Amino acid sequence: MADQEQEQRRIQVANARPEDAGRGLARIPVAVMAQLSLSEGDAIEIVGKRSTPARVVRPYKEDEGLDVIRLDGLQRANAGVGSGDFVAINRIDPRPAQRVVFAPAQDNLRLQGNPEALKRVFFKRPLTAGDVVATAGQQQVDRADMPAHLRQMLAAPAYALQEIRLVVVSTTPKGIVEISAETEVELRAEYEEPREARRADVTYDDVGGMAETIDQLREMVELPLRYPELFRRLGVDPPRGVLLHGPPGTGKTRLARAVANESEAEFFLINGPEIVGSAYGESEKKLREIFEEAAKAAPSILFIDEIDSIAPKRGQVTGETEKRLVAQLLTLMDGLEPRTNLVVIAATNRPEAIDEALRRPGRFDREIIVGVPDERGRREILGIHTRGMPLDPGVDLNELARTTYGFVGADLSALTREAAIEAVRRFMPRLNLDDGTIPPEALDELSVTRDDFLAAIKR
Ligand code: ADP
């Protein structure tokens, strides 16, 4: 694919901002653009373990002087890299596609296809078979100097009421193509196993208001999981246990999933109260089994939600079962072989309520606070949950972020869902439900308005 005439350029990967996510953009330094004779809107191929295309956009002002390429979580997964890794970039000329076949990348999703609408969503997007892509919908572009085709790509309408992840099953011709007005688009109804199933899963782009927390976790968990040899050579023991503390609904579980996905690690989840509720002797057995499973599947992350229910202070518990469960957990933590590439992340809302022995060195000896989001955080979270949603221009996410003081991520997610339901409710009378189809023109008029959000807040 690469134009052999062109110089290849190696460059380090950094995370995209959430508002760029799912749009097929790559922000690269102006100097690199000049070096490869690239203009904004040109297509490039990003080559890591695999290759994936993107359109070049100028860097953010704050990035001036930084030699990095900003890619979103899906792009990083498509290229088989994590942030911090190096990729090569080449200039390419995508060929117009005669045909592109998509399928839902999420296995719990069956799509009633409307290929014409999809064509508009991915218009001008460079695509290649095997990639996982998102229907991220419109991005507001306030720069008049942006080339028309890039602008057109960013003005893509929303496809459904929420962002949907799709696999590019095949393209004709093969290689990197772009959808044009003549392209025939097919949408398969059924899930198609992506090259690696977990690529359609949550990434760092899907957790809002947590830039610092993500940085901390990357250093503590992602890097050791990705580069165990490096840590061994340096003689540094990667942490075994990390304690996340913060109120419910602030995104701890989602964050742990994202770290697992981005570290290309398997994810295992233990729900504290569920384990405790098991029959006599069963709880310890379950705990042992899942530790064993996770160790076998390494690299992996074992997430223990509400660890305070499994490991309350032993002085304060009366039940024998609880005491044995704490003891079992300590034994399991201590028994982890240093070479086993497994990190246990535990979450609690009450760090003071857990057994102190758990927090000794070699156990849960790192702590990260996941707080209630501030206004900026709420704005970012709202951006994530309205990604791919057809928003009326009257919706001002900044205003919503201001007026939702005290809301955590889970509340904001529920709010956007409620607002969408409001919109559908308004829209219902205009649908012809008898023949079971929704004409694409009708869908174009479905949008979630400011009033829908206000109504949802009141509830
Ligand atoms: P916790 O584990 O802290 O109780 P979860 O990770 O289970 O919270 O969050 C529940 C849901 O709320 C998530 O699936 C997500 O939709 C939403 N959510 C919570 N926090 C965030 C966040 N920081 N960014 C985006 N979505 C969030």
Nearest CA to ligand 1 atom 18: 409
CA of 408 to the centre of ligand 1 (A): 8
Which ranges constitute the DSSP H helices of 124-222? Answer: 148-154, 211-217
The residue type at 391: L
Spatial distance between the Cα atoms of 300 and 316, rounded to a whole number of angstroms? 32
Split at pLDDT 50, 70, 90, the class of 51 is: very high
Q: Does residue 142 have a pLDDT over 80?
A: no
Nearest CA to ligand 1 atom 15: 410
With CA atoms as reference, report the closest residue to 187 among 174, 170, 199, 200.
170
Q: What residues contact 334, with CB distance under 8 A and at least 6 apart?
A: 362, 363
Q: Is 381 exposed, middle or buried (0-12, 13-18, 19+ CB in 10 A)?
A: buried
With CA atoms as reference, report the closest residue to 49 among 88, 90, 23.
88
Spatial distance between the Cα atoms of 383 and 377, rounded to a whole number of angstroms? 10
Q: What is the pLDDT of residue 457?
A: 92
Instruction: Please tell me the least confidently modeled range out of 115-129, 134-148, 422-436.
Output: 422-436
Percent of the chain's residues with pLDDT above 70: 91
CA of 256 to the centre of ligand 1 (A): 10
How far from 432 is each of 426, 435, 440, CA to CA, in Å? Answer: 14, 7, 13
Mean pLDDT on 353-373: 92
Q: What is the pLDDT of residue 440?
A: 59
Tokens of 17: 């901002």
pLDDT tens figures, 174-218: 999 999 999 999 988 877 665 555 667 899 999 999 999 999 999
Q: Does residue 6 have a pLDDT over 60?
A: no
Which protein residues touch ligand 1 with a CB less than 6 Å away? 207-210, 248-254, 347, 381, 384, 409-410, 413
444 vs 187, more confident? 187
pLDDT tens figures, 267-289: 999 999 888 877 778 889 999 99
Q: What is the pLDDT of residue 435?
A: 57
Split at pLDDT 50, 70, 90, the class of 1 is: very low
CA angle centred on 190, ends 189 and 191, rounded to 5°: 135
Q: Does residue 47 have a pLDDT over 50?
A: yes
Q: What is the pLDDT of residue 214?
A: 94
ipTM of predicted assembly, 2 dp:
0.99
Mean pLDDT on 96-112: 83
Q: Does residue 334 have a pLDDT over 50?
A: yes
CA of 345 to the centre of ligand 1 (A): 16
The pair phi, psi for residue 12, each rounded to 5°, is: -85, 140
Residue among 212, 309, 413 whose CB has most ligand 1 atoms within 8 A, to mutate = 413
CA of 203 to the centre of ligand 1 (A): 13
